[in-house]
């Protein structure tokens, strides 16, 4: 990895971690969208990096807040997500071997859908949902986590609809994402598909994420939470669109050439 590519990767990591700390989401989505647009890393390697960065971010958050985890909702969501994590990783392997364009289309569509979903303010339910609903959303999150290490949006939306303390929602989500990331890394290592030696330079993003998290906590921008969510939505939506459209046009062009 050259110095310019590494600088670009660290810049993306800083923006992603800073946004994540202020909004509670978007680290994985911004990282995957930025890497997909720039081509700094292969997308499977980028997903490995995201898993590592999620664990680093979680360690900072859970060091003091783990007692607030809502364990009754935590266990069904975690169990279902872990069951589907392997399926998502298997699907990633299929798409990588089939077509990079299709992989970018799926990632772009996922980022666009997630940005729209996360821009909506969920209505709080009158009572806490049942275990089966947490398992259902956890399963979808597991598929997304296995594919691109971006399991956040379904669970974020569902948990923020619950009549739970904000701290309980935050700590529970962070714990689920961290465990999913650990298991995903174990699956990658077990399958013998660890990134090449040049990838390890990307781990210099770890201190960048720590610094961005600290800065966002101590010196937040003079914006309301609603304005921050809108800015994050716009960033995600445009990155997803920029990733999806060129890949879709490439697939369409190839299909027309094959048909002629």
Q: Give the Cα separation of 236 and 115 in Å (integer).
A: 6
Q: Which DSSP symbol is given to 231?
A: H
Residue (of 241, 12, 234, 233) closest to 108 by Cα position: 241
**Whether 34 contacts 12, CB under 8 Å:** yes
User: Does the pLDDT value for residue 134 go beyond 90?
Assistant: yes
Q: Which DSSP symbol is given to 220?
A: -
Model confidence, pTM: 0.82
Domain ranges across the chain: 3-254
Q: Mean pLDDT throughout 136-150? A: 90
Residue 140 pLDDT level (bands cut at 50, 70, 90): very high
Tell me the per-residue pLDDT of 27-85, one tens digit each, with 9 for 90 and over: 888 888 888 888 888 888 888 998 998 898 788 778 877 888 999 999 999 999 999 99
* Residue pointed to by tokens 């010196």: 219
Tokens of 76: 């069904």
User: Does the pLDDT value for residue 224 go beyond 80?
Assistant: no
- Extract long-range pairs of 226-233: CB within 8 Å, 24+ residues apart: 228/19, 228/22, 228/23, 229/23, 229/118, 229/119, 230/119, 232/19, 232/23, 232/25, 232/26, 232/115, 232/118, 233/115, 233/116, 233/118, 233/119
Q: Give the Cα separation of 49 and 84 in Å (integer).
A: 20
User: Does the pLDDT value for residue 260 go beyond 70?
Assistant: no
Q: Mean pLDDT throughout 98-118? A: 84
């Amino acid at each position: 990895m050259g110095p310019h590519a590494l600088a670009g990767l660290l810049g993306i990591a800083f923006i992603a971690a800073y946004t994540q700390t202020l909004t509670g989401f978007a680290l994985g989505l911004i990282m995957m969208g930025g890497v997909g647009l720039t081509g700094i890393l292969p997308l499977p390697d980028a997903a490995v990096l995201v898993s590592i960065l999620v664990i680093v971010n979680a360690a900072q958050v859970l060091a003091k807040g783990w007692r607030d985890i809502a364990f009754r909702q935590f266990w069904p969501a975690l169990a279902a997500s872990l069951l589907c994590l392997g399926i998502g990783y298997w699907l990633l392997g299929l798409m990588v071997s089939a077509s990079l364009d299709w992989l970018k289309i799926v990632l772009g569509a996922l980022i666009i859908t997630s940005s729209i979903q996360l821009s909506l303010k969920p209505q709080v339910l009158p009572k806490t949902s049942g275990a089966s609903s947490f398992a259902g959303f956890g399963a979808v999150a597991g598929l997304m986590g296995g594919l691109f290490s971006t399991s956040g949006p379904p669970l974020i939306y569902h948990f923020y609809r619950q009549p739970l303390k904000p701290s309980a929602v935050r700590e529970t989500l962070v714990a689920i994402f961290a465990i999913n990331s650990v298991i995903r890394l174990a699956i990658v290592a077990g399958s013998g598909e660890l990134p090449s030696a040049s990838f390890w330079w990307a781990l210099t993003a770890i201190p960048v994420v720590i610094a961005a998290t600290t800065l966002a906590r101590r010196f937040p921008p003079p914006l309301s939470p609603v304005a921050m969510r809108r800015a994050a939505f716009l960033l995600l939506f445009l990155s997803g669109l920029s990733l999806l459209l060129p890949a879709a046009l490439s697939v369409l062009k190839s299909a027309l050439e094959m048909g002629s």
